A and B are shown apart, each in its own frame.
Chain A
Amino acid sequence: MKTIDIKHLDDLALGSVFLATGGGGDPHVPKLIAHEAIKQYGPVSLTKPEDVPDDAFIGTIGSVGAPTVSLELLPSLDDAANTLDAFEKYVGRKIDAVASFEIGGGNSLIPIVAAAGKGIPVIDGDGMGRALPEAQMMSYAIAGVKPTPAIACDYAGNSAAFDVSTTEIYERHIRSYSMAAGGMITAAEHPMTGIELKQSIIPGTLSFSVKLGQILRKNRGQADTLLKPLQQAFSSSIYGECRLVYTGKVVDKATQIVGGYDIGEATIEAFDGSGGKLVISIKNEYLLAKCDDRLVASVPDLITIVDYETGTPINAERLRYGQRVSVFATGCPDFYRSDAALKVVAPRCFGFDIDYVPIEDL
């Protein structure tokens, strides 16, 4: 893939929800905005990380805030490009290409909107390979790239600049600004050189998300028939293993807000009631899957819940009692299995008292 055009957007959005593991928000509105941006400014060229010159200047961009708010506070066509303009003005340097900080959900599309508006390429890759709730969990941060200088803009073009000492502090400040600015902002952050990008990005996830979306669309139907094509795609990707771990009905789902996160559990029971129930632990994303206290999959590996009849991925916000679903577990990119990454994304970092075991070993 060399360009992202209008025809890729549906598949990209669909694939991004699979990779979002329950989080990331509904990509419908970001997809519409990307559609309008490409219609107006033309297709966006897609650059592989390895083709980026070492001395290039790269910025990352995405939305920060509450998915529920974005149901009402719609983005504007030029929000993303305007944020990059403000960022360039602030740092005094032009950006050569833009990258995503999160492939899971709506933030897979925002860099495309920005790139279209600015007439610059978008990098094929992201900073998570999935969706994760906090900035310090990004591969950029784990690899030592500083989040600031950063600029965030609200719906009216008001902006705030950030210069902070740690990613944790950046996370706190940007969240507070988001809440003060209507609950949803666009942030340009993690400026880096080409060489830093190559060391820190999860590569190929944008084009892979398009491919994943194609598979989900072409094989639309009962989830068991999806497994084979999914396994074929994942086994030749940075993700590797893909398993269908459970099929059944959601018999319970309860979440509540704790510390700004939607935390809780969903319980799934086989259609005929036989065997153990599958319990999914949720903290914005699906983080842990256990069957009769036996661990089936855990973060940073991917847990995805799809509608049983269509294979359409369901995010945690829309998961509810009575839905008929299948659960897939997929390995995470090797980057996230390193000691440095597991220090910030292992189950214990989300408050679960277990060690991470790769799904291949479960």
Chain B
Amino acid sequence: MAQPENTDDMRIGIDVGGTHTDAVILDGDRVVAATKSLTSADVVSGITSALDTVLEDGAVSQKQINTVMVGTTQFTNAIVQRKQLSPVAAIRIALPSGKGMPPMVDWPSDIKDAMGDHVYELHGGYLYDGFPVADIRDAEVDHLIHDLIAKGLKNIAIASAFAPMNAEPEIRVSQKIKAAIPDARITLSHNFGRLGLMERENAAIMNTSLLPFAEQVIGSFLDALKQRGLECPAYVSQNDGTLMNADFVRAYPALTFASGPTNSLRGACKLTGLQDAVVVDIGGTTSDVGVLQGGFPRESNTVIEVGGVRTNFRMPDIIAIGLGGGSLVKDNGKQVGPQSVGHKLVSEGIVFGGETLTATDILVASGHADIGDSTKVSSISESTIKTATRTMHAMLDQAIEMMKPGGKDIPVVLVGGGAVLVTQGLNAASQIHRPTNAGVANAIGAAIAQIGGEAERMVSYRQVPREDAIKRVTNDARAKATAAGADPATLKAVDIEETAIPYMDEGATRLRVKVIGELSTAGKS
């Protein structure tokens, strides 16, 4: 059989998770090769072996690959486990407001300790209408720099009041620090967009504490690619399903938080071609239910905590229910989960010779799958099988009902190892899709990611006409996307959010624009 002719758009997607490292080669829309392997302790050898497998399986030479995209949970895990975090100087420019409410005031003490709890408050910042909160005081800045040098602090986070509208105080203090401490690594909060000084400041602090680790991680990614002869550009995926180039992720590692679920949803979009769907990722312990809207994950609007710290990161709206292949089956099948044997399924499940009745045992007993030793489940009663099967489908139905937009039925995409548990129709689904290669949806999601940019400002439609204001903010967003590696010609606005501000003058609005486009290198070799 003749191989389909290769397009110019061959890419590799890699997903580095806590347990598995997956890799795929995509040629345009076609999956050329896919592999799932265990994440190695050093991460790098897991990546190189995954690369070896896909390149060999796909009979693809390194030269044919245009780009490599990596999704990783390493930075989220570092925050959650309080590992690999560097000491940070957290500087807020907002005095006299916020006196007695220093940066990190509401952080859990273990993560605060891991970062050294070095906080500074300076006069400065702006009000909503552009009037200064206070002027920056040179003596305060000099004193700050003196203290940073004395303490040897080089990882620095700076946040000023209303920086998304006017970042000048952050930039000015940063320049002075850079002049005095040339090797300082500085994160400015306005690069994390959204209003909410404390949440934005928290994002900047966490980001800064990850900078030395990011240097190391990105260095080892690039080494792994180089070792395998891949000299094409490499990108890392972020939480909104778009990409960052290596330099960008070195500066903004915190933007990778929650990229895993996003990649899984984006991968489901690619595998099925569906733009609007509910995606159910069934694992060993939980099923994560998310929503694709226009090909991208629907975002959560609540305050997101990462490692116990409030942040303003963009995260997909996901609900997790306690149903997976390892879920415990109790009460003659009336209850399934939320307890699970998890990764011990292969020793504790009945079909594997164990003694715990799990969802997988029910599946095998029902004759819908041939896993382990099916003779071991022959004693399970017909009514337990029926009841448990009904319970599992009802749990999924309820979750899908809650997540689907509007009252109409919607296509449902099943991914993940536990997708086999769905043996009947789902009430809320107009169709059920089970794409091949669903097991590596995350890596596919990483491989197809685009480049985005987002900007936000408080505007007054009384002073600036609405169209001009939108144009201005869109231009800010386009500049950010282009800086991140997007081809300006392909950029389009995918989201314009206007939030009117209560109690203020009519027309005062918080305006946020997100643009997305293709990688500027894609399709070129």
Binding site for B on A (CB under 8 A): 28-29, 32-33, 35-37, 40, 65-69, 71-78, 155-157, 175, 178-179, 182-183, 249, 251, 255-262, 269-273, 284, 308-309, 317-318, 320-324
Contacts and interface: CB of A to CB of B under 8 A. Distances in A.
Contacts of A32: 101, 105-106
Interface of A is mostly: loop
B302 A269 contact: no
A74 B101 CA distance: 8
A75 B97 contact: yes
A259 B401 contact: no
Contacts of A270: 407
A73 B161 contact: yes
A33 B100 contact: yes
B109 to A, nearest CB: 14
A155 B506 contact: no
B407 A269 contact: yes
Given A28-B303, A71-B196, A309-B319, 14 more contacts: A33-B101, A66-B128, A69-B128, A72-B195, A76-B98, A156-B134, A179-B503, A182-B127, A182-B131, A251-B405, A260-B506, A262-B502, A271-B402, A273-B406
A178 B96 CA distance: 17
Nearest to A64: B503
A68 B195 CA distance: 8
A179 B510 CA distance: 16
Interface string B87-120: 0000000101111110001100000000000000
A259 B505 CA distance: 8
Contact of A183 (B94, B127, B398, B510): B127
A69 B504 contact: yes
A74 B98 CA distance: 5
A37 to B, nearest CB: 8
A19 B197 CA distance: 26
A285 B84 CA distance: 45
Interface of B is mostly: loop
Interface string B288-299: 000100000010
Given A182-B131, A183-B127, A260-B506, A72 B99 contact: no
Contacts of B198: 29, 74
B96 to A, nearest CB: 5
Contacts of B506: 257-260
A183 B508 CA distance: 12
A33 to B, nearest CB: 6
8 contacts: A72-B128, A75-B101, A76-B97, A155-B97, A182-B131, A260-B502, A273-B407, A322-B405
Contacts of A155: 96-97, 133
B137 to A, nearest CB: 14
A318 B301 CA distance: 7
Contacts of B129: 182-183
Contacts of B99: 76-78
Interface in B32-82: none
B507 interface: yes
A155 B499 CA distance: 25
Nearest to A251: B406
B310 to A, nearest CB: 8
